[in-house]
Amino acid sequence: MIPVPPAIQRFPWKLMALLSAITGFGLLVLYSAAGGNFSPWALNQGVRFLVFLSVALVIGRFPMRIFEDFAYLGYIGVLILLVAVELLGFVGGGSQRWLNLGFMNLQPSELMKVAIVLALARFYTQLPPGETRGWTALWPALVMIGLPAALVMLQPDLGTALAICASGVVVMFIAGLPFWWFGSAALAGAAALPVIFSMLHDYQQKRILIFLDPESDPLGAGYHISQSKIAIGSGGIGGKGFLNGSQSHLDYLPEGHTDFIFATMAEEWGLIGGLALLLGFFLLLRWSTRVALRARTRFGQLTAAGLTMTIFFYIAINLSMVMGMAPVVGIPLPLFSYGGSSMLTIMTCVGIILAIDNDSKTGTRRFH
């Protein structure tokens, strides 16, 4: 056997292979969506992936201490950025989601998906175990989730707001807050929704839907979803073959390289391609869940589980939307959809989880 240097051994090869496989598959789809061209999407996306993968590996080397220490600070910083975006948008006379930093457009709401998990994990790590069932375990968390969620809703970006809430609530859940809180909250919410909604007039209901997500008017959204279902459904089991998707190539499928890339893929690769991709995501989430389970610190546990939820939320909402089970909210498919912001978020998540993984391999378990 050739001796493998420890430095090389320490690389998470399996994880890198998994990420590369998912992204590589995505590159094939982007190549096809561009009509058999590396430009404008596939090449860009590939380069971006390599950069962000390196970033993730670097983040994975950070000691856990840093994340823990800077959790609140980072959260507050991102919150300020969100307010700044809101103010800029207000001044500019329109909704704005990003800050122009000169070299890139920074979308603070993406950062918030990570920051909220870190901040909540820190909060529940510090919380004395005895308080877990008390009021003090609840209201600071609700405030921490509610502030950024409200700010993002104002942008308005329903998808990201939901993602922030989902990740936050999952951290609260695994932190051990009483089960019935979640159960009754969910029940109350579910019971109240149709009642409230049905009390509204038709045009008000429509208005609310448009208010929640103004960029997708009902007709437009309906068109998106039906075309997406046609693309997936017509792919069948084996698909129409690479470069042979008519829905994407003839422009029937809107956003075929970003939010609806799954439909583009499914049309050409069929159910087999879809299941393969789902398997890839399953392996990724299984890895991060395992990291959470064997994390050395409580902070690591909560963070890893929360970030897993963040990644999962992307996947679940995107696929539900593409298959017509959820309204159209602009959420991309992790690693697959063309775009930098979401990839940055996902790779940051992966990097932090990797750091937790590395941490659990070095020290002894401690819970405080």
Partner 1 sequence: MFRRKNPRKSPPITEAWRGITFTRRALVVGGAQVAVGTALAARMAYISVIDNDRYVLESESNRVNLTLVPPRRGWIVDRNGKALANNRVSLRIDIIPDRLHNKELVLGQLKTLLRLDGDTMERIERDLKAASGFQPVAVAEDMTEAEYSSVLVRLPDLPGMAPQRGFARNYPTGAAVGHLIGYVGAPNAEEYEKVRDPLYITPGFKIGKDGLEKYFQPMLRGKPGAKRVEVTARGKVVRELSTQADQQGKTVHLTIDADLQEYVARRMGRESGAAIVIDCQNGDILAFCSMPSFDPNSFSDGISNSEYSWLRADDHQPLINKATRGLYPPGSTLKPMAAIAAIEHGVDPSERHTCIGGYRLGNRFFRCLGTHGSLDMPSAIMKSCNSYFYWLADRLGYDAIAPTARLMGLGEEFQLAGSSQRYGTIPDSAWKLRKYDQKWSASDSLNAVIGQGYVSVNPLQLAVMAARIASGRRLYPRLINREFKNEPLPFSAEALATARHGMDLVVNGPGGTAGRSRLPLDGITMAGKTGTAQVRGLGTGNGKGGTWKFRDHGLFIGFAPVDNPRYATAVVIEHGMGGSRAAAPVAKDFMTFLFDREKAMAALEGFEAGWGGTIKDRMDRDYAAWKAGATTKPDPPEPAP
To partner 1, the closest distance from the beta carbon of 291 in angstroms equals: 11
- CA–CA distance, 172 with 142 (Å, rounded to integer): 9
**Per rule CB under 8 A, is residue 298 in the interface with partner 1?**
yes
Site for partner 1 in 304-323 (CB under 8 A): 305, 308-309, 312, 315-316, 319-320, 323
Name the one range near partner 1 by CB under 8 A: 32-40, 101-109, 210-218, 266-274: 266-274
Say which residue the tokens 């539900």 belong to: 320
The answer to whether 90 and 82 have CB atoms below 8 angstroms apart is: no
- In the chain, the amino acid numbered 20 is S
The answer to whether 311 and 346 have CB atoms below 8 angstroms apart is: yes
Show the tokens assigned to 154: 């104002």
List C-alpha distances in Å: 100 to 90, 179, 344: 15, 43, 16
List C-alpha distances in Å: 311 to 66, 155, 167, 234, 307: 22, 22, 9, 28, 6
**Per rule CB under 8 A, is residue 222 in the interface with partner 1?**
no
Show the tokens assigned to 208: 């609310």
Residue selected from 71, 121, 144, 170 as contacting partner 1 according to rule CB under 8 A: 170
Kindly tell me the burial class for residue 254, based on how many C-beta atoms sit within 10 Å of its own C-beta (0-12, 13-18, 19 or more). middle
- Nearer CB in complex with partner 1: 156/324: 324
**Per rule CB under 8 A, is residue 200 in the interface with partner 1?**
no
Say which residue the tokens 């038709």 belong to: 202
- CA–CA distance, 92 with 76 (Å, rounded to integer): 24
To partner 1, the closest distance from the beta carbon of 258 in angstroms equals: 16
HSE-up of residue 121 (Cα within 13 Å, Cβ side): 31
To partner 1, the closest distance from the beta carbon of 56 in angstroms equals: 21
Name the one range near partner 1 by CB under 8 A: 15-23, 99-107, 292-300, 327-335: 292-300
To partner 1, the closest distance from the beta carbon of 150 in angstroms equals: 25
- Nearer CB in complex with partner 1: 81/232: 232
**Per rule CB under 8 A, is residue 243 in the interface with partner 1?**
no
Phi, psi of 106 (to 5 degrees): -95, 130
- Nearer CB in complex with partner 1: 127/151: 127
**Per rule CB under 8 A, is residue 174 in the interface with partner 1?**
yes
- Nearer CB in complex with partner 1: 82/346: 346
**Per rule CB under 8 A, is residue 84 in the interface with partner 1?**
no
Q: C-alpha 89: how far from its chain's center?
A: 24
- Nearer CB in complex with partner 1: 246/341: 246
Residues 6+ apart with CB under 8 A from 209: 218, 327
DSSP line for 136-157:
GGTHHHHHHHHHHHHHHHHTT-
Site for partner 1 in 129-168 (CB under 8 A): 129-130, 132-133
**Per rule CB under 8 A, is residue 252 in the interface with partner 1?**
yes
Contact positions vs partner 1 (CB under 8 A)? 129-130, 132-133, 170, 173-176, 227, 229-237, 246-247, 250-252, 266-267, 270-271, 274-275, 278, 281-282, 285, 289, 292-293, 298, 301-302, 305, 308-309, 312, 315-316, 319-320, 323, 325, 367-368
